[in-house]
Amino acid sequence: MRHGNYDHQANQKINWQVIKIIWPYLMEHRKRVLLALACLIIAKLANVIGPFLLKYIVDALQADTAGKILIVPVALVFAYGIARFSNVLFGELRDTVFGRVTERAMRKIGLKVFRHLHSLDLDFHLNRRTGGLSRDIERGTTGISFLMRFFVFNIVPTFIEIFMVVGILLFNYGWGFALITLVAVISYVAFSVVATEWRTKYVREANIADSASNTRAVDSLLNFETVKYFTNEEFEAQRYDYELGKWEHARRKNRLSLFSLNGGQAIIIATAMTSMMWLASYRVTAGTMTLGDFVLINAFMIQLFMPLNFLGFVYREIKGSMANIEKMLQLLEISPTVNDKYRAKSLDLNTGIIEFKQVSFSYRPNRTILDDVSFTIAPGQKVAVVGASGAGKSTLVKLLFRFYDLNEGQITIGGIDIREFSKQSLRRAIGIVPQDTVLFNDSIFENVRYGRPEASDAEVSNAIRLAHLEAFIIQLPEGHRTRVGERGLKLSGGEKQRVAIARTILKRSPILVFDEATSSLDSKSEQAILKALKEVAEGHTSLVIAHRLSTVIDADKIVVMDHGRIIEQGSHQQLLEQKGCYADLWFTQQKEQQNKPKL
């Protein structure tokens, strides 16, 4: 499995698996597809009839009979107009009917990718580049739309029209015209394929540069406060310009390669057209063809090379689209390592005892985070885990949520390994107030509702009241409709924590986790939040990750960790009486009032 970095080499072969992705969406709307194909056939027939009508018009105008001059050409002109109109009308009907198919496919594929990204492990999201990822998805879905429309309605129909024209020329005018047309078509297609394969690498390079510049811009804007704190606006601009420079260079190579491709195609078309017109002119002067035949052949060649020229464009765009889709396909190929078992159980919200049994875990093989960790949390009990930064405290929370699976040992709830439960039911049973609460750029009210999206307005308002968030909201001009800004930047740390508490209250989970929920707050805010947390935790099973020991002295049990191992367990008073590491840490914090204990 590939994580994080899913870049590919520029010379990688195009992934034709995309056809497998498109096919089910075509079959889902087969009636619309068939109707669109019927419109296409009628449009092509009208297109082929047009040159014959032109021939008859010219021949009739050359005739000597006055009646024909007055009646026949007029009728043929009207017929020609109807044929041209039918070609355009049924072409538009084809696009209108098929539009529903492409739009629905874009919607479903976009949703599939979105859901897949949310199913991936935390490790993937920690390594992703948001800006480039969003651009890859956007280009991928657009590319699939292009492929569906043009592969079905341009490549196949163009070749059908080519064979029809070659057959007509061979049957009516001999092998000379047919041979010139066939050689021109084969040369054009072969040159387009070879040249397009050659320049596809430049399309990929431009896409990579585009994603990189977009990622740089998004990263910089998301961290705009940090940029301003260090007055690094110009530094960020230079880094962005550096990425834009690479994009400009890649686009220039892309443009020059396109010039070469278009030039070669133009030479082939011009040579074929000149040869056909010379042969037709010779036949007319020799008396073996009429002027109407000359016009018919000229019209056929124009009609043939217009779609053929467009075929070159379509093939180039299809290659470009597939290069765009490759990134999205690679995303879909990434598999999560943490999966539900077949017929996984649903965790009952009335949970039992939580046990960590000889848990060992490491993110990377060369660095152990947890080593033989064992402790229990009885129903309704509050257990705190304390220790220095890097001791593995927050990793316990990630393992409880099954963001990662253990290397060794077990975590059980009610005596059942959490790997037996579905991830969704497990995480639904756990509410969390994290150290860093990230909010959506929406109203305070909707951010609270996120704890349980189906909750009624009354339930959300009650959660706000229980989290002691009302007093703050009343002071705001727009009240609970106030938008919190990108990632909640308009709110202070304490205000965001209250929103997190309200979310957790609304979620109604029997297990509560508080991951250093007050570590970034001042003393006044901390006391207010602690009071709210105590009220929320009443009657719940709680796991508290703490740095400041003063916040967990009321815990039923305190687990002291150091370098991934448990070194002491007991109540606050029991640990003080042991006069071990906890006692040293307690007196150090009390005396010096500092956040970084020396264990």
Q: Of residues 243 and 323, which shows the higher confidence score? A: 243
% of the chain exceeding 90 in pLDDT: 7
What are the helix (H) ranges across 63-155?
A: 66-70, 72-119, 122-127, 130-150
Q: How many CA atoms lie within 13 A of 229 on its CB side?
A: 5
pLDDT at 356 over 80: yes
d(CA 517, CA 384): 12
Q: What pLDDT shows up at residue 16?
A: 61
* Model confidence pLDDT, tens digit, residues 514-572: 887 776 566 666 677 777 777 777 778 889 988 888 888 888 999 999 888 999 999 98
d(CA 339, CA 119): 9
> Is residue 593 packed enough to be buried (19+ CB in 10 Å), middle (13-18) or exposed (0-12)?
exposed
Angle at CA of residue 138, ends 314 and 440, nearest 5°: 170
pLDDT at 206 over 70: yes
Q: What is the mean pLDDT of the chain?
A: 80
Number of domains in the chain: 1
Q: What pLDDT shows up at residue 152?
A: 63
251-281 as b/e: b if 16+ CB within 10 A: eeebeebbeebeebbeebbeebbebbeebbe
17 CB-near residues (< 8 Å, 6+ apart): 329
Q: What pLDDT shows up at residue 599?
A: 39
26 φ/ψ angles, rounded to the nearest 5 degrees: -70, -40
Pick from 155-159, 477-481, 579-583: least confident: 155-159
Q: What pLDDT shows up at residue 8?
A: 40
Q: How confident is the model at residue 4 (pLDDT cuts 50, 70, 90)?
A: very low
Q: What pLDDT shows up at residue 346?
A: 86
362 within a domain of the structure (yes/no): no
Q: What pLDDT shows up at residue 553?
A: 87
pLDDT at 295 over 80: yes
140 within a domain of the structure (yes/no): yes
* Model confidence pLDDT, tens digit, residues 61-98: 766 454 445 565 677 778 878 888 888 888 888 878 88
Q: What pLDDT shows up at residue 349?
A: 66
Mean pLDDT of 342-355: 81
Q: What pLDDT shows up at residue 151?
A: 65
432 within a domain of the structure (yes/no): no
Instruction: For residue 283, give the CATH number of its domain.
Output: 1.20.1560.10
Q: What pLDDT shows up at residue 221?
A: 82
81 within a domain of the structure (yes/no): yes
Residue 65 is classified by DSSP as -
Q: What pLDDT shows up at residue 142?
A: 79
d(CA 14, CA 321): 10
pLDDT at 594 over 60: no
87 within a domain of the structure (yes/no): yes
229 within a domain of the structure (yes/no): yes
Q: What pLDDT shows up at residue 283?
A: 83
157 within a domain of the structure (yes/no): yes
Q: Which amino acid is at 270?
A: A
Domain of 228 in residue numbering reads as 18-333
Q: What pLDDT shows up at residue 411?
A: 92
3-state SS assignment for residue 52: helix
d(CA 561, CA 554): 18
404 within a domain of the structure (yes/no): no
